[in-house]
Amino acid sequence: MDGMHDHGMGDMGMGMDMEMSHMTFFWGKNAEVLFHGWPGHSSGMYALSLIVVFVLAIIVEWFSHCQLIKAGTNHVAAGLVKNVMHTLRVGVSLLLMLAIMSFNVGVFLAAVVGHTVGFLLFGSGIFKKSDAATPHKTSHSDLSPMTC
């Protein structure tokens, strides 16, 4: 082996059949998303991976805008619910980020469209009934916004 191919290979136990991972955006169904070998070379499994990414992005938006805690809830119980919701939101967000790190353009677009649809459904207020009795009432999420 020359120095370029054997550098670090023995330490990590990787074989020579290891495929190069992409470090730039690329088009195509031959990608690995979240798990080794998935979706592989199957168009159907690639479509499924795009659907999974799309749904994960919608779930992140739901967690970011949901209102599950009712007024008058015990503050300890409310705090525990918020903590669980925050943990789930962060976990799903990180899973989504790892999927995007496949650098596949289709996965990236599925995430962006999923966030767009999720915000439209849960954050935009388009589908909420207006309350004429309290026009200045601001709705809030149980969780604070995620920041970078």
Domain ranges of the chain: 43-122
What's the confidence (pLDDT) of residue 10?
46
**What is the model's pLDDT at position 8?**
46
- Compute the half-sphere exposure of residue 100: CA atoms within 13 Å on the CB side of its CA: 17
Other C-beta atoms closer than 10 Å to the C-beta of 51 total 12
Q: What is the pLDDT along the chain (148 residues), one digit of tens a residue?
A: 444 444 444 444 444 444 556 777 778 777 888 878 778 788 898 999 999 999 999 999 999 999 888 888 899 999 999 999 999 999 999 999 989 988 889 999 999 999 999 999 999 888 877 655 444 445 567 767 665 4
Q: Which residue has the tokens 């080794």?
A: 36
